[in-house]
Amino acid sequence: MLDAALRLCERDGYQQLTIKAIATEAGVGRQTVYRWWPDKAEILMEALVELAESLDLREPIDSGDTLSDVRALLSITYSLTQSITGQAIVGLMSDAQADPALSAKLQGKVIGPRRDALREILRRGVDRGEVSAAVSLDLVVDFAFGAMWYRLLSRHAPVNEELADKVADVVARLLAVEPSR
């Protein structure tokens, strides 16, 4: 049923996704869908969370090397958007603009945790003296995920492993501890 939702969402787009279609695709009565979720946003969110959990290694990322950690986290996150979830994520974010409850849930379950994870990695790096805090860490996080969103929305370039590498390089450059002297 969650699979059906994701499948149809990617095929037809978020706006065209219909509860009726999900039910039909899943070979289920419409009422049965309503029994479990109040609307299509909740369905997709649950589907996404489930998908995310199946991909993430649930063990926290902490290899000891900050840059490796950054690269790993971004790589996992970016790859999530490559499976079949682009339409769903963007659609949900769009709906969340006018729906504080949905917005809160997305923040709490999808956006926030990843943001926190990246910041925590950087924080650890600073604490260990591996990286400087010359640039606001929050801004660095904005860059790392911002590049992803911008490409997801605009689609001028893919969101893939290569991007993760490049972003990690730039982070390294930005937060290098006093390269000279």
Provide the minimum distance between the beta carbon of 132 and a copy of itself in the complex, in angstroms, as a whole number.
Answer: 11
Residues 66 and 140: beta-carbon distance below 8 Å: no
Interface with a copy of itself includes 35 (CB under 8 A)? Answer: no
Out of DNA, a copy of itself, none, what residue 57 binds, judged by CB under 5 to 8 A for its kind, is none
Burial 119-147 (b: 16+ CB within 10 A, else e): ebbbeebbeeebbeeeeebeebbeebbeb
Interface with a copy of itself includes 109 (CB under 8 A)? Answer: no
Query: What single-letter DSSP state applies at residue 180?
Result: -
Out of a copy of itself, DNA, none, what residue 18 binds, judged by CB under 5 to 8 A for its kind, is DNA
Provide the minimum distance between the beta carbon of 77 and a copy of itself in the complex, in angstroms, as a whole number.
Answer: 12
- Rounded to whole angstroms, the Cα distance separating 129 from 134 reads 12
Site for a copy of itself, residues 69 to 108, rule: CB under 8 A: 86-87, 90-91, 93-99, 103, 107
Which one, of 113, 10, 123, lies nearest residue 56 by Cα?
A: 113
Of residues 27 and 100, the one with the C-beta less far from DNA:
27
Site for DNA, residues 6 to 65, rule: CB under 7 A: 18-21, 26-32, 34-36, 39-40
